[in-house]
Structure 1
């Protein structure tokens, strides 16, 4: 399978909406937009993301929109984030996409956060060189409550 990144296009947003309203994915990711099911809230969320991301990419798997990946935040505190369609889980898409994003953004350190029980995402981050630095508690929109999260860093 060929994994590629490209700039986000307006036509990607309806696909992202479908992907980011999959109830299984929302629960797994835990930390996502507040009420992504409301199209107006979703549109406002994506406008903020597009305005504030340092690097924002659509993830393609064999030419199909498989998700998105981004680096956001201020220099020295930038974080990575990604969302991969559940149809592509377990196929190496997230790992390949994150590696491509990290090659595009050589700045270090970069940070990441994941729900402590999201073993798949933690595995992706570890494969890409991130290491755990802390644990914290944060409100997870996808779970409707505060949960434990893992804070990771990539510094080389």
Structure 2
């Protein structure tokens, strides 16, 4: 499967919105918007972040939009995030996309966070060189409760 990154297009947003509203994906990601079904809030957030200095990319697999990847935050505290359509889980798409993003954004250190029970996301981060540096607890909107999370770090 050919995995590529490109700039985010307006036409990608309805796909991202649909992906964000997959109940199983929401539960797995855990740390999601308070109301992922609120299109206006979703659209406002994407308008805001597309005007920021963040690096936002659409993930393509064999030419199809299958997710998004980003590096965001203040210098020295920048964090990676990604979302891949559930139909593509376990096929190496997230790992390939994150490796491409890390090549595109050479600044280090970079950080990542994941729900402690999100084994798939943790595997992706480990494969891309991230190491666990801390454990924390945070409120997971998608689960409606505080859960364990893992904080990871990637050095140069």
List runs of 5+ in structure 2 lacking aligned partners.
none
Which range moves more in the overlay, 137-146 or 101-110? 137-146
Q: 2:73 aligned with 1:93, yes or no?
A: no
Q: Pairwise CA RMSD of aligned residues?
A: 0.9
**Normalising by structure 2, what TM-score?**
0.97
> Partners in 2 of 1:49 and 1:31 — Cα distance?
17
Instruction: Quote the Cα distance in structure 2 between the aligned partners of 1:4 and 1:53.
Output: 21
1:151 corresponds in structure 2 to 151
Q: Would you identify which runs of 4 or more consecutive aligned residues in structure 1 move more than 3 Å?
A: none
1:45 and 1:36 map into 2 onto residues whose CA distance is 11
Q: TM-score, normalised by structure 1?
A: 0.97
Give the match for residue 7 of structure 1: 7
Structure 1 unaligned regions, length at least 5 = none
After superposition, the C-alpha distances for 1:25-75 in whole angstroms (9 at most, x for unaligned) are 000000112211111121122223323352000000000001000000011
What is the aligned partner in structure 2 of residue 136 from structure 1? 136
Aligned to 2:108: 108
Moved more, 49-58 or 132-141: 49-58
